[in-house]
Amino acid sequence: MIETREYFVYHRKTGEIYEKIQAYCKKLLYKPDGTEWWVLEHIDGDFGKSKWFDKDVAICVGKCYLDPSKPSQYKLKDGTQKEFDFFVKNGYIKDNTGTG
């Protein structure tokens, strides 16, 4: 079985979570026409199962940034705002060295 993490697909402005998906990883891939798409790979640990999303769709790793137990639709865990903003802007997590 493939190890998976929980990903949240959410609305950027309202924070409403549309979908929770267990997947191995999130990648930015290109279709033959040159368009960019987010892909969640190996959904539910199934090696051949992936889901493609338009590049404008907001997806993040739930464990790292979201606290679904808070009463509002979308709340960051305490102390993660800076890292989350960087993740949203760049699609990866900045290390503590400041080099990327």
pLDDT (tens place) for every residue of the chain, 100 residues total: 788 999 988 877 777 788 999 999 999 999 999 999 999 999 999 998 999 998 888 898 876 655 555 555 556 777 777 777 777 676 655 555 444 4
Q: Does residue 10 fall inside a structural domain?
A: yes
Q: Does residue 98 fall inside a structural domain?
A: no
**What pTM, to 2 d.p., does this model score?**
0.61
Q: Does residue 95 fall inside a structural domain?
A: no
Scanning the structure block, which residue is given the tokens 């865990």? 77
Q: Which of 21, 17, 16 is nearest to 6 (CA)?
A: 21
Q: Does residue 68 fall inside a structural domain?
A: yes
Q: Does residue 100 fall inside a structural domain?
A: no
Q: How many domains does the chain have?
A: 1
Domain that holds residue 86: 5-90
